[in-house]
Amino acid sequence: MEKEPLVEHPADPPAPGPPRPRRRISKLLVGAGLAILVLLATVDSKLPFRPHLCRGRHGKDSPFGRFPRSGDPFHFIPCTDRTIPPALEDPNPLRSWARLFDPDPAHWNWGNASAADHEGGHGHLRSPFSGRGIYLCGYLDVPLDYTNKSDERIARLAVTKFQVSGLAPHRRHRRGRHGDDNKAGKKSERTLVIEPGGPGGSGTSMAWRASEGITKRLSDGQYDVLGWDPRGVNTSLPAISCFPFDADRDHWALRSGQYRETSPSPRAQLEFVDAMSDSVFNACYKQHGDIPRFMTTAIVARDLEEIRKALAEDELTGYLVSYGTGIGQTYANMFPNSVGRMILDGTEYVRDHRLVGGFGWTALDNGTNAWHDGFLGECVNAGPQHCALAKQLSSEPVTLKSLENRMHTLVSSLIERPLPGYTEFSGPSLITYSALVGALYGSMYNAESWPALAQMLFELEAGNTTMAAAMLERVAWGYDPTLPSPPNKRPSSEELGTLVICADSYDAKEPEGGMDWWENLWKNMTERSWIAGNSRFSNVFPCRHFTKYWPEPAEVYRGDLNHTLKHPVLLIAETYDPATPLRNGRRLLKEMGANARLIAHHGYGHSSRDKSNCTDSIAKRFILEGVVPDEQETACYANEKPYLYGVKKGDASATGRKTQSAMEIWDEHLAELALLSPALLPKRM
């Protein structure tokens, strides 16, 4: 009975509304030319719009009482599709917020019933909501400028919490002892605070997408999970976009995103992009004034400390991913006495981001290894039944070497001339080198996407561009022409990521040579990594204009990373991570010394998504008991191989657990990528 979903699960498709066939993910993916590490995505599908909801029922009690509860610093109310924090200009935000409370629990977003609950209660009087976690939405106001008490402006941070114990029925509604226990409706002893990265990744989106999985994986479902949108991002306020509409950004992206290999004159291309970066920052300045001064990672770390205090927990428990590990390292060293059980997964070395272009060029180590050993090598190992590219085309068997040559020929042919394609929703289309290589790089983040990518490349090689066009168009645009326009929708907070990266390195002196130096860096980066170089370069190149508009951010962290912490942190770094190479995790470990332990996770993709029982058991023990391994570094291996996830050993006929189509796999991949790296996504063409 409890299994029957009475309400829409957040992972379910959107409720009735205008059909949005295609491009909803795109904006997230289309990078601001920044890039790095974020995670998941289409909140579209998580916060289904329900225009049919009755309004005006506020003030009523629900069977679970009234929300927000007095004294709750987050002002939590059960999430519906309307629970977006009130505007900064709102003179009475709390009243407006309380009006969003909908007393009908069938409209709330509940989690799945836990397995424990299925076994446990048989009470026939149980409510359909007992044993289910609940998604709570709230916000926290913090100072915009922590360094200036006389500046009264605030930032309003959106938070989404998955409370594992659900809600307790209000006294008046209780019927006997069935259906509630003494834990129901209470926060857990610790809360797993999560952050997907970016910069620019949305923690509330990650909470929607991943909370239930994260609490199971790291705490056997015992701890609540809380995600927040960092200042400037998504539903937090102020949100930073420097284009009035996504279409305006798209208008320039095609030209700005051209890769070096296809630029007839790399210098001319750079001059164009450089002028555009200046123009974008100028627009940011016109629209947001001094606000980009307050978007640094150090200030975000202060926000995180405010979140910890609002949770009323003595120490921070967290699962911070990708650029989120940069927030975590900064936080730990600014607030060493607040550090609890923090996992930093997909570890960068935040010190690198103080250098000119450091966010870009320190990330390049292993992207091409992932392509070579992983995408191609594991394809050959898995064989034609699991990887289309392993199909034998001639009398010669497919070897890694021959496959590598074929793919090199295919990809580089697009430098000379793109291939025409067609999709029903965009009409004419081109398979360009820049768009394809951008997609290949994104695919290295997530090996689940590889069978779909291999299928696409196989068909493309045979001259069929149908799937390539469909996949590349998925990330092409932020603008969605199927939505009414104007106002279409809120423009995405895409410029935020660049502003954070540039603010964090604002005092790094541009080397002698000016544009010549940058031109050389671009060459160097693309030669070191054909798969990641262009994307990473575009994240940092705009920074040369930052201080023209914002000479001095309000605060950056420039201290060491070896402070003595209240509790050691657990670092996880991956051997084939295309964004945060293991080398950087080890450099961080060296500086942190006894204050950290590292899991060297042998697997594919960005962060430890390539499941390993070894990694998971260390991580869970750390979160639940605070125990760290004795050794500084522990090696863990992924359970399975790409292309063979879910395929049982020795069962040659099994096709694996994936029954999804290539496009379904691809869409799921893009949703994941949008979280990890909204800015990573290729600007296409």
Ligand X SMILES: *[C@@H]1O[C@H](CO)[C@@H](O)[C@H](O)[C@H]1NC(C)=O
Q: What's the closest the beta carbon of residue 509 comes to ligand X, in angstroms?
A: 16
Pairing assessment for the beta strands 596-604 and 633-637 based on DSSP bridges = parallel
Q: How far is the CB of 282 from ligand X (least distance, A)?
A: 22
C-beta of 517: minimal distance to ligand X in Å? 11
Residue number, 33 or 313, with CB nearest to ligand X: 33
CB of 587 to ligand X, least distance (A): 12
Q: Which of left, alpha, beta for 198 (phi over 0: left; psi -120 to 50: alpha)? A: left
Nearest approach, Cβ of residue 51 and ligand X (Å): 15
Gyration radius (Cα) of the chain, Å: 24
Nearer to ligand X, 307 or 452 (CB): 452
Instruction: Give every CB contact of residue 590 below 8 A, 6+ residues apart in sequence.
Output: none
Nearer to ligand X, 84 or 430 (CB): 84
In angstroms, the CA 194 to CA 96 distance is 27
Cβ proximity to ligand X, 59 vs 481, nearer residue: 481
* DSSP 8-state class, residue 88: T
- Least separation, in Å, of the C-beta of 654 and ligand X? 15
Residues 6+ apart with CB under 8 A from 571: 325, 343, 344, 345, 347, 585, 588, 589, 592, 596, 597, 598, 599
**Cross-strand partners of 359:** none
Residue 7: DSSP 8-state: S
Q: Cβ closer to ligand X: 313 or 521?
A: 521
Cα–Cα distance, 147 to 137 (Å, whole number): 28
**Min CB(74)–ligand X separation in Å:** 17
Nearer to ligand X, 210 or 685 (CB): 210
Look-up: residue for tokens 């970066």? 277
Applying CB under 6 A, the residues found at the interface with ligand X are: 9, 11, 28, 41-44, 47, 84, 112, 148, 150-151, 202, 205, 212-213, 234-235, 365-366, 369, 459, 464, 466-467, 524, 527-528, 560, 562-564, 575-576, 581, 583, 613, 639, 674, 678
Residue whose CB is less far from ligand X, 155 or 467: 467
Residue with Cβ nearer ligand X (313 or 503):
503
Q: How far apart are CA 353 and CA 539, in angstroms?
A: 12
Question: What are the helix (H) ranges across 550-685?
Answer: 582-592, 613-625, 662-674
282 or 524, CB closer to ligand X?
A: 524
CA 602 – CA 552 distance, rounded (Å): 41
Name the minimum Å distance from CB 639 to ligand X.
Answer: 4
Q: Do residues 25 and 42 make contact, with C-beta atoms less than 8 angstroms apart? A: yes
Torsion, CA 424, CA 425, CA 431, CA 434, rounded to 10: -170
Query: Minimum distance from CB of 20 to ligand X (Å)?
Result: 11
